Structure 1
Amino acid sequence: MTPVVRTVLGDLDPGVLGRVDAHDHLFLCSPQLPGQELDDVAAARAELVEFARLGGGTVVQWTPYGLGRRAAELPVLARESDVHLVAATGLHQARHYAGDVLAEVAGPRLAEVFVRELTEGIAGAPGVRAGLVKVAGGYHGLDAHARWTMAAAAEAHQATGVTVGVHLEHGTSGLEVAELLCGELGVAPASVILGHLNRFPDDRGLRELAATGCFLGFEGPSRAHHATDWRLFDALAGLIDAGHADRVLVGGDTVVASARATTGEGPGLPYLPRVLWPRLAREFGHEAETAITVANPARALAL
């Protein structure tokens, strides 16, 4: 089967994605972030238009089930901005949900919910299909909720070939996640993205994670985790010098309205094409920058 990337406007050849923001949010509402909701369609449009003007080609929205994805808005935004958008199914940590939201998916088998959103359409947005399953670990460990969601994500991967993106809490538990998903549950390592590794910049640990064959996600600068932003390029240099440039992904991870560039205080989606991608080229050369922004996400997102 020819690999494709599943966007909100349909399946695409991975080679047409352009430069990719591999982990971000256009819409997100969580009880853990009261009063900071990403729910403004006009603001999302402004971010995407500026992202495209600066050379961005694709944004992967990691917002999963029940957290205000507004999936029905995404096809219009993709057309208006000329940016490819990949939406997510999946579940975040239990603490991000009110009890009634989790009850909605507790009855049916969770894997069936994920597969339906990947193949038929996202809840509330018929025909708009997800192209990623997002799940989450805990801080230095995996609780029962994490294991339940990861088992369902693995089933969805086996049924569809979808990539599993994992929120690592403060960048921890990466090896435990890789051992569970790729060992016990049989997910191909090249179909796993371990996210938020900028929040735990342990060079030895990062090289060990790269050796698993999973993709390694670095998101930022982050307004919530800015204390590790200055370590980003040291971490990337260590991986590139060790021969792992083909494992690295970068994203913006805008999670609150104040972090938008066009309507808030920034840095927002435009930061990647405006600052981060050019600096990757200056620091590591054009070949490495193209691998990180174009080639790696095309492979990581391919079904």
Structure 2
Amino acid sequence: MNTVRTVLGDVPPGELGVCDAHDHLFFGSPLLPGQELRDASAARAELAAFREWGGRSVVQWTPYGLGRRAADLPLLSRATGVHVVAATGLHQAAHYAPELPAELRGRPAEMFVNELTEGIGASGVRAGIIKVAGGFHGLDAHARWTMTAAAEAHRATGAPIAVHLELGTAGLDVLDLLCGELDVPPHRVILGHLNRSPDFVVHRQAAEAGAYLAFDGPSRANHATDWRMPDALRALADAGFGDRLLLGGDTTTAGARSVNGGPGLPYLLRRVRPRLELALGSELVERILIENPGRAFAVEWRRD
């Protein structure tokens, strides 16, 4: 039976409800000094605000070493009634200063598998996805190394692989590596940030390959592509790929939280959803927010 692995245990995909398919409750990186998401009370307020707008689940793409605070996630999920999915995996090398911890320079796949099946550190919270990252229009040695480990962990557990695409680029390179060389089934790969590079041809090629396409991080000051997202989603839906689409908010800084005056988690449902309903119709948007995440994140888990 396929289930989604949340921080409170495995649930049927139909229980996810309206899902923010890519966001962060906790996150910290040397690339974003002073903007760390560390405040548990702020995270709880953000989740509560998301639920008030109809949100029922959030997938946190924060991987190893970037302040996941896994032990806090079950407490927040219980307190707010919002399902939370945690991540294992590794981000780009630049997020780990000055370098990766020594214990990860050997076989990161073993760590990924352990966090998916046994739990993240002493928290006992099991991850539900593997997060990795590409580079700008290409894959460096670190990206190939982490994706190779992710593919190994996928084969051992069945877990889906969620990929940060730098400014929305290199999605086809990711699929060539993961699905071509490393034999990961395309429907187990989620390509993130495609809204940041509104290349409709690449979007369609990625969808034709069988991957899930996440449009996440709308209304960010360093992106000028929000207005293209409805057209991109419509083009994919018209081509028959409405079942491949996901939406997320990708809140990565304290200033972006709604409790601090930013868009935050609620923005996806408060502003993005009605805007997309005008362009796509409410039926398709409901499928993107509810049905598609259930398929993308639910697997028949191995090595339980």
Normalised by the size of structure 2, how large is the TM-score?
0.96
Shift in Å at residue 242 of structure 1?
Answer: 1.4
Deviations 1:101-129 (A, max 9, x none): 4323114x11110000000001242x200
How far apart are the structure 1 equivalents of 2:85 and 2:271? 23
For residue 71 of structure 1, give the secondary structure of its aligned residue in structure 2: coil
The aligned counterpart of 1:190 is: 187
The aligned counterpart of 1:209 is: 206
How far apart are the structure 2 equivalents of 1:248 and 1:100? 35
For residue 224 of structure 2, give the secondary structure of its aligned residue in structure 1: helix
**Structure 1 outlier segments of 4+, above 3 Å:** 99-102
Residue ranges of structure 2 left out of the alignment (5+ in a row):
300-304
How far apart are the structure 1 equivalents of 2:162 and 2:92? 13
How far apart are the structure 2 equivalents of 1:130 and 1:222? 28
Residue ranges of structure 1 left out of the alignment (5+ in a row):
none
Shift in Å at residue 98 of structure 1?
Answer: 2.0
Please give the root-mean-square deviation of Cα atoms over the aligned residues, in Å.
1.1
Which of 120, 126, 141 is residue 122 of structure 1 equivalent to?
120
- Residue 234 of structure 2 corresponds to residue 237 of structure 1: yes
How far apart are the structure 1 equivalents of 2:102 and 2:212? 32
How far apart are the structure 2 equivalents of 1:123 and 1:91? 15
How far apart are the structure 2 equivalents of 1:169 and 1:60? 19
The aligned counterpart of 1:266 is: 262
For residue 250 of structure 1, give the secondary structure of its aligned residue in structure 2: strand
The aligned counterpart of 1:31 is: 30
How far apart are the structure 2 equivalents of 1:84 and 1:249? 17
The aligned counterpart of 2:137 is: 140
- Residue 300 of structure 2 corresponds to residue 301 of structure 1: no
Q: Match of 2:137, as an amino acid?
A: H
Q: Match of 1:98, as an amino acid?
A: A
The aligned counterpart of 2:285 is: 289
Shift in Å at residue 222 of structure 1?
Answer: 4.0
| Residues 220 and 229 in structure 1, CA contact (< 8 A), matched pair in contact too | no
| Residues 199 and 225 in structure 1, CA contact (< 8 A), matched pair in contact too | no
Shift in Å at residue 53 of structure 1?
Answer: 1.2
| Residues 212 and 246 in structure 2, CA contact (< 8 A), matched pair in contact too | yes
How far apart are the structure 2 equivalents of 1:288 and 1:302? 20
Q: Match of 2:116, as an amino acid?
A: L
Once the two structures are overlaid, the 10-residue window that deviates more, 74-83 or 205-214, is 205-214
Shift in Å at residue 265 of structure 1?
Answer: 2.4
How far apart are the structure 1 equivalents of 2:133 and 2:219? 18
Deviations 1:174-221 (A, max 9, x none): 111001101111111111000010110011111111111000010122
Which of 157, 160, 164 is residue 157 of structure 2 equivalent to?
160
How far apart are the structure 1 equivalents of 2:147 and 2:24? 21
How far apart are the structure 1 equivalents of 2:29 and 2:221? 15
How far apart are the structure 1 equivalents of 2:9 and 2:213? 26
| Residues 222 and 254 in structure 1, CA contact (< 8 A), matched pair in contact too | no
For residue 121 of structure 1, give the secondary structure of its aligned residue in structure 2: coil
Deviations 1:210-254 (A, max 9, x none): 111000010122424331112111111111121111111010000
For residue 179 of structure 1, give the secondary structure of its aligned residue in structure 2: helix
Normalised by the size of structure 1, how large is the TM-score?
0.96
How far apart are the structure 1 equivalents of 2:182 and 2:209? 14
Equivalent residues in 2 for 1:9-20, closer than 5 Å: 9-20=8-19
| Residues 93 and 99 in structure 2, CA contact (< 8 A), matched pair in contact too | no
For residue 211 of structure 1, give the secondary structure of its aligned residue in structure 2: helix
| Residues 130 and 161 in structure 2, CA contact (< 8 A), matched pair in contact too | yes
| Residues 87 and 128 in structure 2, CA contact (< 8 A), matched pair in contact too | yes
| Residues 154 and 181 in structure 1, CA contact (< 8 A), matched pair in contact too | yes
Once the two structures are overlaid, the 10-residue window that deviates more, 220-229 or 69-78, is 220-229
Deviations 1:18-72 (A, max 9, x none): 0100000011000000011111111100000010111001000000000000010
